[in-house]
Structure 1
């Protein structure tokens, strides 16, 4: 059968086409480019899509005669929505090809960035797959106390210095528009042609907006606010107290940990995952959602945000918070993972469900433990993961003010503990954990995406909503 085929779908006015799509970007680091592709991630039974022969894994290259290769997800959605009751899709390859490519991306993570020749799809080692509609990226840059632009990882500035475009954008809260297709070439020679694409490239290589100095600190390079703006009747002491209390109230008691399922030796741990492993994986993820939501509601100022902003912040940061809180609770030197419901499992019990992602989480846990992060510092760090700017916020200014207050609390606490030996640069190291979390989040998304394609266990609705960013038609 030819790898290319045309699928025509017809539906009645009161029914849907019956399929879902996902758009992903393939980041080629050597070319500083992102290759977009959209494919079918689910076909519902008894629908026009199934009757027409559409398959999960089919890549969509055209819609109603229009070439959509490289077009963004939401634009493709609008084209499909405007199709009426008849839809013509140009598709490429099939499930086996897409699975092979996915395996290559997963192998890329396992090998620490080196994809071997035996992965089956010939994907270069400088390529990375990431979901285009999610806030998580593969972070390659972290620093604090230094302007992000001074060590430009996008290589847009010359070594002798120059003006700092990302700083200007964040400080002025500037909003740009691309007059082309949002894929303009950006390099040293052409960096001034499109401000929108330049800023997107800064974010794509892992630069972190949270460590950019604010507008009020121009000329004081690399220093965080000494006196961040505070909401009325709000003091740093009461804020950090609320953060610590929220953290303590949301962790399982050390005297009530559940070891009933704990096993240090697990037979056949190298076999392929089965439905039991995947269900355990989903249960551990979704079981954390309510705990993290209740924790967030106890953050001073969070409950006063619009409900839509609360939901957006929570869903955008959930996976990072799951990783951070699990890493802080667990005992990596013993291979023990302590989940939010108090269940304790050995690493070997999680490998088949979590895959190689669990080892990355344990490595992060070890680095966190080596820093000897105290509870107040960790409470502030966790709050900064969720209280940050996200696209689509109704009141971003209120979120920014709360973020500045938390940064001020963390800065004051670290400064007060600065006299302790062995703690130089603690603030910088703590903030440096934020891009590490985003990298781990990308690996987690890879794992969830892989399990969804395997389709041994239907993912819970919350997983679809938060992680997959799919829309039914």
Structure 2
């Protein structure tokens, strides 16, 4: 995505760029990128391929002609052409390093007096950006049931009774409380029932299906998504749904209790452990939600973040990559402008960069989450119970 990338290691725009051609495809070059004169398209393609570790295979004879018109027909030969003309992988900077460099550049800018007539124009939200926020917010409000009033979930048939010294008689508590009890407390009570470790799986299966359905309806309410080919829609949903679910869950996360309030019920990391998820996933998950919640995002920022995750152009099997990239860039710029307008310094300092770092963490979490879901499904034969979740992670 252009707004997330830079020509690291280059010398900036070449004053004679209009007379230069891309060494990879022959298109008009914009300058030196990764040690070679290239166009913006080949610069972005090379950077994405290296950072994502994508492995391409040529369906022909590994000698495809790479031109401006044919450069998208064989990604394998295009990548090999990048390497053969001298583009260097070691000159590519991570997104995190790019934002640190940009921040340092801003801090080093000389503070010279500016005449009133020389003040820059107000870079507030454009009409198109305001319209985008309106569309996304409406899609979110119509399809995300924050009260969870429509969630008809599995109710565990066994309840736990605890004797409380402050009250007369037993006190009822949900299963998750059992996870926190001390062993000696269990030995002294005859009313407590130890649940099966997977007793909460049906609940999590229902909750996952409920959230996935909402994400699908949210995406279908966005015109830019509906205009994509159906195969691209499916690819984007498979890649983004679990991440969007976590962003939506963060809106109901209570950082004081470390619990997710889903209507009348609250769920904790301990409930996830009872459902069979491991600490290698649960601990980073809790850290992610605490970090995101502390940023104090507005509703508009949450919905823009969801859309930013949805329109991710680097999935290998999407066909309208350029269109998806342009949409994501538009969303990213809108999010950046909104933050600049609504979060004055020092509150807004590096807020945009922090969000992008959290998105990187979220993608890592999704990999581990998917691995554990597949393991739980295999061990408990839950694929028939969660067909929609199985389709998303397939």
Q: Same fold (TM over 0.5)?
A: yes
In the alignment, what sits opposite 1:371?
295
Q: How many residues align?
A: 285
Give the CA deviation at 1:193: 6.3
In the alignment, what sits opposite 2:243?
320
Name which of 138, 152, 160 aligns with 1:245.
138
In the alignment, what sits opposite 2:34?
163
1:360 aligns with 2:284: yes
Name which of 146, 154, 174 aligns with 1:263.
174
Distance 1:433 1:416, change over 3 A: same
In the alignment, what sits opposite 2:334?
409
Is residue 177–residue 196 contact of structure 1 (8 Å, CA) maintained in 2? no
Q: Residue 302 of structure 1: SS of its match in structure 2? A: helix
Distance 1:443 1:241, change over 3 A: same
Give the CA deviation at 1:289: 1.3
Give TM-score scaled by structure 2 length: 0.59
Query: Residues 21-420 of structure 1: matches in 2 within 5 Å?
Result: 147=6, 163=34, 171=43, 173=45, 192=83, 207=94, 235-254=128-147, 263=174, 266-267=177-178, 274-339=197-262, 343-353=265-275, 354-356=277-279, 357-389=281-313, 390-420=315-345
Is residue 323–residue 361 contact of structure 1 (8 Å, CA) maintained in 2? no
Give the CA deviation at 1:351: 1.8
Give the CA deviation at 1:198: 5.7
Q: Residue 388 of structure 1: SS of its match in structure 2? A: coil
Per-residue CA deviations over 1:148-204 (Å, capped at 9, x if unaligned) read 957xxxxxxxxxxx8268996664546876769x9xxxxxxxx946999969xx8xx
Distance 1:163 1:280, change over 3 A: same
Distance 1:447 1:301, change over 3 A: same
Query: Residues 437-452 of structure 1: matches in 2 within 5 Å?
Result: 437-452=362-377
Give the CA deviation at 1:366: 0.6
Q: Residue 432 of structure 1: SS of its match in structure 2? A: helix
Q: Residue 338 of structure 1: SS of its match in structure 2? A: strand
Give the CA deviation at 1:455: 3.2
Structure 1 distance, partners of 2:237, 2:219, is 8
Is residue 414–residue 426 contact of structure 1 (8 Å, CA) maintained in 2? yes
Q: In angstroms, what is the RMSD of aligned CA positions?
A: 4.5
Is residue 35–residue 87 contact of structure 2 (8 Å, CA) maintained in 1? no
Higher relative helix content: 2
Structure 2 distance, partners of 1:329, 1:167, is 44
Structure 1 distance, partners of 2:267, 2:131, is 36
Query: Is 403-412 or 436-445 further displaced after alignment?
Result: 403-412
Flag the structure with larger Rg.
2
Q: Residue 361 of structure 2: SS of its match in structure 1? A: helix
Higher relative strand content: 1
Give the CA deviation at 1:430: 1.6
In the alignment, what sits opposite 1:56?
none
Is residue 304–residue 335 contact of structure 2 (8 Å, CA) maintained in 1? yes
Give the CA deviation at 1:424: 0.8
In the alignment, what sits opposite 2:353?
428
Name which of 466, 469, 472 aligns with 2:392.
466
Distance 1:448 1:374, change over 3 A: same
Distance 1:316 1:265, change over 3 A: closer
Structure 1 distance, partners of 2:273, 2:348, is 34
Give TM-score scaled by structure 1 length: 0.50
Give the CA deviation at 1:254: 4.7
Query: Is 162-171 or 298-307 further displaced after alignment?
Result: 162-171
Per-residue CA deviations over 1:390-414 (Å, capped at 9, x if unaligned) read 2211222221221122112112211
Distance 1:194 1:266, change over 3 A: farther
Structure 1 distance, partners of 2:175, 2:35, is 52
Where do 5+ consecutive residues of structure 2 fail to align? 10-32, 50-55, 64-74, 76-81, 100-104, 107-121, 157-172, 182-193
